[in-house]
Amino acid sequence: MNNDERLFELTGKVAATEVSAASAHKRLDNLDKLTNSVYTLASSVEGMSAEVKGMMQIMVGVRESQRDQGKRLGKLEKTVEGLPWLKERLDDKAGKLDEVRQEPAKKWKAVVGYVIGGVVTLIIGFLVGGLFY
């Protein structure tokens, strides 16, 4: 092989190496972009993880609050179950209160009846007395 052939062969190899190097650089650039995308994604996942942890803490608080409300509701239900006797007592007291309120009205009616009876008796007495004199 002479020098010209050798030069031609080496020029082809250099050209092939340059093409290969350009391809490698392009793949490295794509890997850089992919690495940046993965980093961005990891940062986003980290932020979402923090948000999920915060929401989980809120959920724990809500669950505890619901548990407390359930206990209070149970106590209230027990209290309400014991109220029928109170209603009966209140109904009884209301009936007695009505009787007490009606007492003055009954007495007043009796007084008015006595006054009217007295006036009628007085008028009849005058009429009868006027007939005999």
DSSP character string of 43-90: HHHHHHHHHHHHHHHHHHHHHHHHHHHHHHHHHHHHHHHT-HHHHHHH
- Domain layout of the chain by residue ranges: 1-81, 84-133
- Cα R_g (the chain), whole angstroms: 55
Whether the pLDDT of residue 114 is over 70: the answer is yes
Mind listing the pLDDT tens digit for each residue in 54-78? 889 889 888 889 889 888 988 888 8
Average pLDDT of span 17-30: 90
Question: pTM for the full model?
Answer: 0.40
63 residue type, one letter: R
DSSP state of 1: -
pLDDT confidence tier of residue 121, bands split at 50, 70 and 90: confident
Q: pLDDT above 70 covers what percent of the chain?
A: 97
What b/e readout covers 40-63, taking b as 16+ CB neighbours within 10 angstroms? eeeeeeeeeeeeeeeeeeeeeeee
Q: Which of 68-72, 82-86, 112-116, 118-122 has the lowest mean pLDDT?
A: 82-86
Which amino acid belongs to residue 111? V
User: How far is Cα 3 from Cα 85, in angstroms, rounded to an integer?
Assistant: 122
